Amino acid sequence: MDNRPIGIFDSGVGGLTVFKQIRKELPNENIIYLGDTKNFPYGNRSREQIVDFAMENAKKLIDKNVKMIIIACGTATSQAIDVLQEKFDIPIIGIIEPTIQYVKEQNIKEIGVIATEGTIRSGAWEKKLKENIEDIKVINKACPMLATIAEEGKAESKEGRKAIKEYMEPFKKNRINKIILGCTHFPIYDRIIKEELEYDVELIDTGITVSEYVKKFLMEKNLNNIEDESRESIYLTKPEKEFKNIAKNIMGMDIEIMNI
């Protein structure tokens, strides 16, 4: 048993979609969330920048005595997880590995992946999917505008719907019915995507695959917290006007935000 908190980071509000599922799956765990709003968006940055930001975030969380880190960001997972895992000696889990496991278990043979420009450019999802699942067909689509529109609290606006319409075209045309939401901001669009596609589709939310994976991991390593009361702290590297409202929509509760 280990009552130290789990550290979670993302570039902004998106990682709260992971936080929410972790909270649900692991109600006893203390959680520290870090949104690197000062450097948002990560999606169009170079790999070097992503690695620098991810390193800084990990150091800040380790300073707060976390027992493990969840990279609740597709862009940082795709380009920086190896560096972080090598540098730090606490467990570091990203959003790709747990999701690949899920896809493998489901015996899926054709899948869409939507993510930021940087994530798609890295080829990380496609590479891992193909390494682990024989003959899987992967259809990638970079969606450069979505994280920013969501971060501004405009996912349901005309602008958000227009972007979804454009980005869903390759999936709609081929009636792809399994799509990985490869950026943690994207579950915010869940309803709009389903409305746009108009057919039965499973949108794979990495928050769910990650939380199940982390639960198993903590149990196996005997690192879970068995105390009854849990706390959560949310830190941002720069105050953001819309953060509190969007967080409330995602988490279904009011949250207190601190600066770091």
Question: What is the C-alpha R_g of the chain?
Answer: 17
Q: Are 180 and 99 in contact (CB under 8 A)?
A: yes
Identify residue 258 by its one-letter amino acid code: M
Rounded alpha-carbon distances, angstroms, from residue 194 to 152, 168, 225? 21, 10, 37
Q: Which residue is nearest to ligand DGL (CB)?
A: 43
143 is catalytic: no
**Given 18, 68, 73, 188, the catalytic residue:** 73
Report the phi/psi class of residue 252: left, alpha or beta, with left for phi > 0 and alpha for psi in -120 to 50: left
Rounded alpha-carbon distances, angstroms, from residue 20 to 31, 92, 136? 11, 18, 30
**Minimal distance, residue 148 CB to ligand DGL, in Å:** 7
Token pair 């130290």 is found at 4
Subset of residues 185 to 214 that bind ligand DGL, contact rule: CB under 6 A: 185
Subset of residues 124 to 163 that bind ligand DGL, contact rule: CB under 6 A: 147
73 is catalytic: yes
Distance, CA of 1 to CA of 226 (rounded, Å) = 7
Q: Which stretch binds ligand DGL (CB under 6 A): 11-19, 121-129, 221-229, 243-251?
A: 11-19
**Minimal distance, residue 29 CB to ligand DGL, in Å:** 21
Pick from 5, 7, 35, 41: which binds ligand DGL (CB under 6 A)? 41
Count of residues touching ligand DGL (by CB under 6 A): 17
Q: Compare residues 153 and 225 and give the one whose CB is closer to ligand DGL.
A: 153
Pick from 19, 40, 125, 189: which binds ligand DGL (CB under 6 A)? 40
120 lies in the site for ligand DGL, by CB under 6 A: no
In the three-class reduction of DSSP (H, G, I as helix; E, B as strand; rest coil), residue 245 is classed as helix
CA 256 vs. chain centroid, Å, equals 21
**Minimal distance, residue 225 CB to ligand DGL, in Å:** 26
Q: Examine residue 187 and say whether the peptide bond preceding it is cis (omega within 30 degrees of 0).
A: no
**Minimal distance, residue 112 CB to ligand DGL, in Å:** 16
In the three-class reduction of DSSP (H, G, I as helix; E, B as strand; rest coil), residue 46 is classed as coil
**Minimal distance, residue 80 CB to ligand DGL, in Å:** 11
The residues assigned a catalytic role are 73, 183
Interface residues with ligand DGL (CB under 6 A)?
Answer: 10-12, 14, 40-43, 73-75, 116, 119, 147, 183-185
